[in-house]
Amino acid sequence: MNMDLARNHLKIPVAKAAKILKSGGLVAYPTESFYGLAADAANETAIRRLFYIKRRVPGKPVLLLIPAVDSLERYAAHVSETAKRLMDAFWPGGLTLVFEAQKEVSALLTAGTGKIGIRLSSHPVAMALAKALGAAITGTSANISGESPCNTPHGVLQSLGKGVDTILDGGETPGQKPSTVLDMTTRPYAVLREGMILKEMLQPYCEDLR
């Protein structure tokens, strides 16, 4: 992609990016760690395209970013009191909670497990994009699967090129660690990935954690 096209690619408001998502497009956006790749979580065609451009194999779940806590019940079938304590303590922020998914959630996102990872982002652009769409967006990293995640818009362009419809330019993101993923569907609760939120920080809110 030439630099003139790249500059146009990056200069776009959130409202226009949300319209792209509504029409089945893909939008890269900054998060607390790296750039994420958004598709409308209710659009199976867009989700399939996301898998295609990331060269992501089926069978790997994709987490969601929701626009607000009160939209959680649209995607999670059951929210325990422990989960509510964790949400109060760490949302918005770098904690992804895994719930039993509502039956309407695409099996492409759950990888056929019936479970879905959900997070409320603290990054203003990521949150604004989900709010503008009025629904959950995918939270997978904006890069080819297996490659290093990107923390700049031009890194996204180099990785995904024309596969992504637009990029919300938030400058360089912090990188470092991704979100921590905690499975709330098992007992004891299981830390599937330790990232921004350390396990020891979760223990005061979880009576049963491994």
Q: Is the pLDDT of residue 8 over 50?
A: no
In a domain, 43, yes or no: yes
Q: Does a structural domain hold residue 88?
A: yes
Instruction: Give pLDDT tens digits for 105-144.
Output: 999 999 999 999 999 999 999 999 999 999 999 999 999 9
Whether residue 36 is contained in a domain is answered as: yes
- The mean predicted confidence, pLDDT, of the chain is 93
Which residue range is the domain that position 91 belongs to? 3-178
Region of residue 141 (left: phi > 0; alpha: psi -120 to 50; beta: else): beta
* Number of independent structural domains in the chain: 1
pLDDT of 2 > 80? The answer is: no
Q: Which CATH number goes with the domain that contains 145?
A: 3.90.870.10
User: Considering the domain boundaries, does residue 193 fall inside one?
Assistant: no
Residue 163 has pLDDT above 60, yes or no: yes
Task: Give the 3-state DSSP-derived string for 12-78, with helices as H, strands as E and coil as C.
Answer: CCHHHHHHHHHCCCCEEEECCCCEEEECECCCHHHHHHHHHHHCCCCCCCCCEECCCHHHHHHCECC
Q: Residue 189: inside a domain, yes or no?
A: no
Rounded to whole angstroms, the Cα distance separating 115 from 100 reads 4
Q: How far is CA 126 from CA 77, 81, 139, in A?
A: 24, 26, 9
Q: Sign of torsion, CA 141 29 1 26?
A: positive
For residues 169-182, average pLDDT = 94
Q: What is the pLDDT of residues 11-37, one digit of tens each?
A: 579 999 999 999 999 999 999 999 999
Backbone angles phi, psi at 199, to 5 degrees: -55, -40
Q: Cβ contacts of residue 7 below 8 Å, gap of 6+? A: none
Res. 5: pLDDT tops 50? no
Q: Is residue 188 part of a domain?
A: no
| Residue 10 confidence (pLDDT) | 52
pTM, 2 dp: 0.92
pLDDT at 11: 57
E strands along 39-183, which residues? 64-65, 95-100, 115-119, 137-138, 140-141, 166-167, 180-183
Residue 62 in any domain: the answer is: yes
What is the structure's pLDDT at 193?
96
Q: Does residue 199 belong to any structural domain of this protein?
A: no
pLDDT tens digit sequence for 145-162:
999 999 999 999 999 998
What pLDDT is stored for residue 6 in this prediction?
43
